[in-house]
């Protein structure tokens, strides 16, 4: 038996694996982007809860670009929310100079709320 055969009707190469011929398939090439923490969280979410969307993005070669876009949007939203909340709650550099522990406490609270907002609006949606 030949190791590889070509099926002209389907236009596919098949490779012998044990007793069966398996189609030789490859994913399309896609541009690689660095994916941050937000993109990784969204990837884990769609793998577990939206398997069809994940499979479609993966097989179309668009998964990496999609995750990079989600990551960028989430990061921009996160920093924008922090900036707006800090301004609204008067958490300034002056407070940081006068009372560092109070500043850290309030900024951690703001970051926590911003993280929750981004997770609810973008990542786990």
Q: In whole angstroms, what is the distance from residue 117 CA to residue 42 CA?
A: 14
Asked if residue 59 and residue 43 are part of one domain, the reply reads yes
Instruction: Tell me the three state secondary structure of residue 15.
Output: strand
Looking at the structure, tell me whether residues 82 and 39 fall in a common domain: yes
Which tens digit of pLDDT belongs to each residue from 19-40? 888 888 776 677 788 999 999 9
Domains: count for the chain: 2
CB count in 10 Å sphere of residue 68: 17
- Let me know whether 14 and 35 are in one domain: no
pLDDT at 43: 97
pLDDT tens digits, residue range 40-89? 999 999 999 999 999 999 988 899 999 999 999 999 999 999 999 999 99
CA distances in angstroms from 69 to 57, 97, 125, listed in the order given:
13, 37, 15
What pTM value is reported for the model? 0.77
- 107 and 47 housed in the same domain: yes
Same domain, 65 and 19: no
Q: Is residue 40 located within the same domain as residue 92?
A: yes
Q: Is the pLDDT of residue 8 over 90?
A: no
Q: Which domain range does residue 93 map to?
A: 31-123
Q: 29 is written with which tokens? A: 């090439």
């Amino acid at each position: 038996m030949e190791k590889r055969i070509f099926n002209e009707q389907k236009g596919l190469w098949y490779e012998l694996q044990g007793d069966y011929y398996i189609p030789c398939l490859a994913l399309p090439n896609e541009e690689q982007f660095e994916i941050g923490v937000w993109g990784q969280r969204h990837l884990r979410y769609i793998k577990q809860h939206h398997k069809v969307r994940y499979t479609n993005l993966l097989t179309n070669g668009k998964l990496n670009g999609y995750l990079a876009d989600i990551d960028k949007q989430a990061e921009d939203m996160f920093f924008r929310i922090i900036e707006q909340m800090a301004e609204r709650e008067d958490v300034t550099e002056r407070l940081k100079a006068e009372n560092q522990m109070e500043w850290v406490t309030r900024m951690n609270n703001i970051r926590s709320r911003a993280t929750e907002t981004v997770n609810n609006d973008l990542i786990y949606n």
